[in-house]
């Protein structure tokens, strides 16, 4: 029996090792805020949501499969929450009995397993009844299959068979075990034997033949001996207990899988109400195949920012169809990082079958989403900042394949602009040649302008601008990069380039880089505070 609400033909792998980039995505895209709204304090919901969100689908059919299931959930919220509650209750029954099965003694394991199987059989019956009652109102392929399999696999005959076997396992008439001598003369190879009643021969009874049976009785109050005897009996019950406990596990794993797969959709319902409360537009994205490169959105908002903000959050309209490179320049605190996050979040949500916070969204399936954000501090003081950036980039390249999406935020600024631009140019060019889509937020004019000159029609340039009066609008407009860098302020404050003469010494480069970067990191911190 299978749940199959996330894939039509297989289970979701909830035990997969976390991906290598999960931590980066969580931090860079503020995923924790979204997950919190999905979980509503439930750790399981949080864990399931994180796993499903970070495990992007690049198959249009699969995305549509989940969208249909989620649409059912939105329409039949009450029925879905009832089903979920039943499954949770079944697993809670089990938790109440947990002490029995893990003790390690087969006799106790057997007793515990039988009690669990009894409790499960009650819930399986309830599940059947719910399926009988509710199945009519669901339309998606996923739910139709689920209810069908419950009705087929849990028919009356099956439930009755289960009950019979549970009675047989009561086992209270004593046990017969065979054994051999181990090398230390203790008994080994205990095997449960079918008892055959037989009486000693008459020769033996009158003492003419050697005795073939000896016995003893443990004193009634000797608890130690009673325990030892119970332990011995247990050895003979080992195999039987194993079989019963495994059967209980199989049924539990069915409930566990059903709960986990439902949990994702329940979390989506939770997030949906939180977003609707804040007036955010919600839309099911149009998933498109990887080729050709498509990206267009209307009123796209940063989901994390929506959840953190009382008032209205600005959205962006971007049309980047056939423009796999989007370069974002412009004022600090102008919404550049927020935009980058909104794209990353929306793409992850779209590719796991969720709605997104926009009025319209369509994009090509991406084989993976990567973030390369400038870190505020070097993670390791030993390697230089540029060294660290390049190391992280290299790790991304190791994992990247065609049709990936890489979001860069002020990358390769750990050295002077000429060198940083050159490194960035080489990397971005190569990525584009390999059909990797790139969103790049940068202050480096030399870098941005290079692409304006070399590939104007294949690049979308966006700029963050301050509205009149200096207040940022947080909206990006299509506009070419401007040569006047905002680093000029910084440049003046630190007193010019006297120390940054490349000819002076190898060490001075290192001094210059971090200073410039420190300013930028500070500006980003301001953006973060607005979010919080």
Partner 1 sequence: MDAERNGSPGTFGLLAPPGREATVHDERDHASDLHLDQIVSRIASGRDDGPALEELYFRRTRDVETVHHRHRVFQDLDDPEVWDAARRFCGSAREVLSHLSQARAMRVREQRQGWTLDAAATYCAAVRRLATDLGEARLGSQGMADFRRYLLGYAASGEFARLEAESAECKAALGDVGYCVNVDGGRVSVTRYEEEPDYSVEIQSVFERFRQGAVRSYLANYRVWPGMTSVGQQILGLVVRLFPEEFALLARFSERHRSFFDPGVHRFYAELQFYVAYRELIDSVGAGGLDFCYPEVATESKEELAEGTFDLALAMKLTSEGQKVVTNDLRLDRGERIFVVSGPNQGGKTTFARTFGQLHHLAALGVPVPGRRARLFLCDRIFTHFEREEDLSRLTGKLESDLLHMQRTLRSASPASVVVMNEVFSSTSLEDNRFLGAEAMRRLIGLGCLAVCVTFVDELASLAPSVVSMISTIVPGDPTQRTFKVVRGPANGLAYALALAEKYRLTRPQLLERIP
Rg (CA), the chain: 33
Q: Tell which positions 108-167 bind partner 1, by CB under 8 A.
A: 109, 113, 161, 165
DSSP secondary structure of 129-168 = HHHHHHGGG--SHHHHHHHHHHHHHT-HHHHHHHHHHHHH
Question: Residue 389 CB, nearest distance to partner 1 (Å)?
Answer: 9
485 lies in the binding site for partner 1 (CB under 8 A): no
Segment near partner 1 (CB under 8 A), from 46-54, 67-75, 351-359, 399-407? 399-407
- Rounded least distance, CB 238 to partner 1, Å: 6
Q: For the CB of residue 213, give the shortest distance to partner 1 in the complex, in Å.
A: 5
Distance CA 226, CA 237 (A): 17
Q: Using CB under 8 A, pick the residue from 73, 320, 369, 423 that binds partner 1.
A: 423
**Minimum Å distance from CB 58 to partner 1?**
16
Site membership for partner 1, residue 249 (CB under 8 A): yes
Q: Does 178 bind partner 1 (CB under 8 A)?
A: yes
Edge-to-edge strands of the sheet including 325-330? 369-373, 405-409, 437-441, 325-330, 459-466, 472-478
Give 287's strand partners. Answer: 363
Residue 322 touches partner 1, criterion: CB under 8 A: no
473 binds partner 1 (CB under 8 A): no
Indicate the burial class of 119 (C-beta count within 10 angstroms; 0-12, 13-18, 19 or more). Answer: middle
Among 136, 156, 167, 196, which residue interacts with partner 1 (rule: CB under 8 A)?
Answer: 196
CB closer to partner 1 out of 2 and 135: 2
Q: Which is nearer to partner 1, 61 or 503 (CB)?
A: 503
Among 206, 310, 381, 468, interactor with partner 1 by CB under 8 A: 381
In angstroms, rounded to a whole number, what is the distance separating the alpha carbons of residues 274 and 253? 31
Q: Considering the complex, what minimum distance in angstroms separates the CB of residue 9 from partner 1?
A: 16
We find the least distance from the C-beta atom of residue 369 to partner 1, in angstroms, to be: 16
For 64-74, letters b (16+ CB in 10 Å) and e give: bbbbbbbebbe
Which of 66, 115, 128, 235 contacts partner 1 by CB under 8 A? 235
**Binding piece for partner 1, criterion CB under 8 A, among 58-66, 67-75, 218-226, 304-312:** 218-226
Q: Could you say whether residue 453 binds partner 1 (CB under 8 A)? A: no
**Smallest distance from partner 1 to CB 405, Å:** 13
Instruction: Rule CB under 8 A: choose which of 32, 89, 137, 243 binds partner 1.
Output: 243
| Cα within 13 Å of Cα(140), Cβ side | 24
- Contact between 5 and partner 1 per CB under 8 A: no
Do the beta carbons of residue 375 and residue 311 sit within 8 Å?
A: no
Establish if 175 lies at the interface with partner 1 (CB under 8 A): yes
174 is an interface residue for partner 1 by CB under 8 A: yes
Q: Which residues contact 217 (CB under 8 A, 6 or more apart)?
A: none
Distance in Å, CB of 111 to partner 1, minimum: 12
- Select 272 or 392, whichever has its Cβ closest to partner 1: 392
Q: Which of 415, 442, 459, 527 touches partner 1 (CB under 8 A)?
A: 415
Q: At what angle do helices 106-134 and 77-96 cross, to 10 degrees?
A: 170
Task: By CB under 8 A, tell whether 15 contacts partner 1.
Answer: no
Instruction: Please give the full DSSP string across 68-118, using - where no structure is assigned.
Output: HHHHHHHHTHHHHHHHHHHHHHHHHHHHHTHHHHTSS-HHHHHHHHHHHHH
Q: Which residue among 15, 95, 194, 471 contacts partner 1 (CB under 8 A)?
A: 194
Is the distance from CB of 258 to CB of 87 less than 8 angstroms? yes
3 state SS of 494 = coil
Residue 22 CB burial class (10 angstroms; 0-12, 13-18, ≥19): middle
Interface residue with partner 1 among 95, 202, 207, 217 (CB under 8 A) is: 217
Instruction: Candidates 365, 431, 437, 462: give the one binding partner 1 (CB under 8 A).
Output: 431
238 binds partner 1 (CB under 8 A): yes
Q: Which residues have a Cβ under 8 Å from the Cβ of 322 and sit 6 or more positions away?
A: 292, 293, 294, 458
369 binds partner 1 (CB under 8 A): no
Question: Rule CB under 8 A: is residue 378 a binding residue for partner 1?
Answer: no
Q: List the interface residues with partner 1, window 59-118 (CB under 8 A).
A: 101, 104-106, 109, 113
Cβ at position 162, least distance to partner 1 in Å: 9
**Among residues 246, 273, 454, 528, the one that binds partner 1 under rule CB under 8 A:** 246
Of the pair 180, 492, the CB lying nearest partner 1 is at 180
b/e map 237-267, b = 16+ CB within 10 Å: bbebbeebbebbeebbebbbbbbbbbbbbbb
**What is the rounded end-to-end Cα distance, in angstroms, of the chain?**
45
Q: What residues numbered 499-518 form the site for partner 1, per CB under 8 A?
A: 506-507
Cα-Cα-Cα-Cα torsion 372, 443, 424, 439, nearest 10 degrees, comes to: 50
CA 369 to mean position of chain CA atoms = 14
For 310, which DSSP code?
S
CB of 164 to partner 1, least distance (A): 9
Distances 311 to 34, 277, 341 between C-alpha atoms, Å: 17, 11, 19
Phi-psi domain of 364 (left: phi exceeds 0; alpha: psi -120 through 50; beta: other): beta
CB of 508 to partner 1, least distance (A): 10
Residue span binding partner 1 (CB under 8 A) among the ranges 79-87, 226-234, 269-277, 453-461: 226-234
Q: Which stretch binds partner 1 (CB under 8 A): 71-79, 244-252, 344-352, 488-496?
A: 244-252
């Amino acid at each position: 029996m299978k749940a199959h609400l996330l894939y039509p033909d297989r289970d979701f792998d909830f035990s997969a090792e976390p991906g290598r980039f999960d931590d980066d995505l969580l931090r860079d895209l503020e995923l924790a805020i979204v997950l919190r709204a999905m979980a509503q304090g439930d750790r399981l919901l949080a864990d399931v949501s994180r796993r499903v969100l970070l495990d992007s689908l690049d198959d249009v059919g699969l995305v549509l499969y989940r969208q249909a299931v989620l649409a059912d959930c939105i329409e039949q919220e009450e029925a879905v929450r009832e089903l979920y509650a039943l499954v949770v209750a079944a697993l809670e029954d089990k938790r109440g009995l947990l002490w029995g099965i893990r003790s390690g003694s087969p006799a106790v394991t057997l007793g515990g397993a039988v009690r669990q199987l009894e409790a499960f059989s009650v819930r399986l019956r309830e599940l059947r009844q719910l399926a009988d009652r509710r199945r009519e109102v669901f339309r998606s392929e996923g739910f139709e299959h689920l209810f069908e399999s419950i009705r087929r696999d849990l028919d009356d005959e099956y439930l009755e068979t289960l009950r019979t076997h549970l009675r047989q396992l009561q086992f209270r008439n004593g046990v017969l075990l065979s054994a051999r001598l181990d090398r230390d003369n203790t008994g080994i190879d205990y095997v449960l034997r079918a008892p055959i009643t037989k009486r000693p021969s008459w020769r033996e009874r009158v003492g003419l033949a050697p005795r073939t049976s000896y016995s003893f009785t443990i004193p009634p109050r000797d608890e130690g001996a009673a325990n030892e005897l119970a332990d011995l009996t247990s050895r003979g019950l080992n195999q039987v207990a194993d079989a019963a406990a495994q059967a209980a596990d199989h049924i539990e794993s069915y409930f566990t899988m059903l709960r986990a797969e439902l949990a994702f959709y329940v979390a989506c319902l939770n997030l949906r109400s939180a977003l609707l409360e804040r007036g955010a537009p919600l839309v099911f994205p149009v998933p498109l195949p990887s080729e050709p490169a498509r990206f267009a959105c209307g009123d796209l908002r940063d989901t994390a920012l929506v959840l953190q903000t009382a008032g209205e959050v600005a959205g962006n309209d971007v049309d980047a169809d056939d423009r796999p490179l989007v370069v974002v320049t412009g004022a600090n605190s102008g919404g550049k990082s927020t935009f980058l996050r909104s794209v990353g979040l929306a793409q992850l949500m779209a590719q796991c079958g969720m709605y997104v916070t926009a009025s319209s969204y369509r994009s090509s399936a991406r084989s993976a989403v990567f973030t390369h954000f400038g870190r505020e501090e070097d993670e390791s003081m030993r390697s230089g900042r540029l060294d660290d950036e390049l190391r992280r980039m290299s790790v991304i390249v190791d994992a990247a394949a065609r049709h990936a999406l890489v979001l860069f935020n002020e990358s390769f600024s750990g050295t002077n602009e000429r060198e940083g631009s050159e490194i960035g140019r080489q990397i971005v060019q190569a990525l584009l040649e390999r059909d990797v889509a790139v969103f790049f937020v940068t202050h480096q004019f030399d870098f941005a302008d290079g692409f304006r000159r070399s590939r104007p029609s294949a690049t979308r340039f966006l700029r963050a601008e301050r509205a009149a009066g200096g207040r940022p609008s947080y909206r990006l407009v299509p506009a070419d990069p401007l040569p006047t860098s905002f680093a000029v302020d910084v440049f003046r404050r630190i007193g010019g380039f006297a120390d940054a003469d490349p000819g002076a010494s190898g060490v001075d480069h290192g001094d210059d880089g971090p200073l410039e970067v420190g300013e930028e990191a500070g500006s980003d911190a301001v953006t973060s505070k607005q979010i919080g």
